[in-house]
Amino acid sequence: MTDDRQDNGAEGGTNIDFYFDFLSSYGYMGSCKIDELAARFGRQVTWRPILLGITIFKVMGLKAPLETPLKGDYIHIDSPRMAKYLGVPYKHPAQQPNPLNSARAYYWLRQRDASLAKDLAKALLVRQWAQGIDISSAELVADEAAALGVERQETLAALQDPAVKQLLADAVDQAIAEGVFGSPFFVVDGERFWGVDRLPLVEHWLEHGSW
């Protein structure tokens, strides 16, 4: 497993690690806010897709929230109102996406161009959570990458590449080692924050560096 936390200016306390799952509505909301917040304090953000349902929840011995009695019903109520509160567009999809292809594409593309990879992640999150379009298929992911200038067949081939699959597996292992267990999850100067509703605490830390 490799640790890439030195990229994008992570050394010296300038970086914010933003962990999210493409299947998480709250992760989408966090993606709409974290870069703007970081920029106000001269920080950079490294986006780090994870897989909650396939890996992290298994480590924790938990069901996915939407499969949990009572909690799943609550999320269907809470997600649209939180989006309204944050002022971000939101359309609840008919079904949860499978995040594998989106996350694999991100880590594959990040090796080439971190900014382009982030643009792809943003486009996919908007498709899923602002437009309600299922982003599970490799074909849709390849279409979104093509819209950013990445050759479609190259993306489709990469999604089946064992080396690319390993990039994602390593990233998830690294997230677990960091103590990440939800989406969104922010790590700032070693301080860990879980949930889009913790953004005010992130802001406080960025401003004051203490409690």
Split at pLDDT 50, 70, 90, the class of 14 is confident
67: confidence class by pLDDT, cuts 50, 70, 90: low
Quickly state the pLDDT bin for 10 (edges 50, 70, 90). very low
pLDDT digits (tens, 9 = 90+) for 138-184: 999 999 999 999 999 999 999 999 999 999 999 999 999 999 999 99
| Residues 165/4, Cβ–Cβ less than 8 Å | no
50 or 96, higher pLDDT: 50
- Written as six digits, the tokens of 203 are 């802001």
Instruction: Compute the distance between CA of residue 46 and CA of residue 55 in angstroms, rounded to an integer.
Output: 21
- Position 52 pLDDT exceeds 80: yes
pLDDT averaged over the chain? 90
- Would the pLDDT of 53 be above 80? no
Cα–Cα distance for residue pair 109/198, rounded to 1 Å: 29
Could you tell me the CA-to-CA distances from 63 to 55, 59, 60 in Å, in that order?
11, 11, 9
The predicted structure's pLDDT at residue 94: 83
All structural domains of the chain, each given as residue ranges with its CATH number in brackets, are 7-208 (3.40.30.10)
Cβ distance 156 to 142 under 8 Å?
Answer: yes
Specify the range with the lowest mean pLDDT, choosing from 31-35, 66-70, 82-86, 140-144.
66-70
Distance CA 19, CA 144 (A): 21
Bond from prior residue into 184 cis (ω within 30 degrees of 0):
yes
Q: Which residue has the higher pLDDT, 125 or 66?
A: 125
Residue type at position 4: D
Is 98 exposed, middle or buried, given 0-12, 13-18 or 19+ CB atoms closer than 10 A? middle
The alpha carbon of 164 is separated from its chain's Cα centroid by a whole number of angstroms, namely 17
- Note the pLDDT of residue 55: 65
Does the global pTM surpass 0.85? yes
- For residue 3, the model assigns a pLDDT of 54
In this structure, the chain runs to a length of: 211
The average pLDDT across 185-199 equals 97
Q: Average pLDDT of 57-83?
A: 75
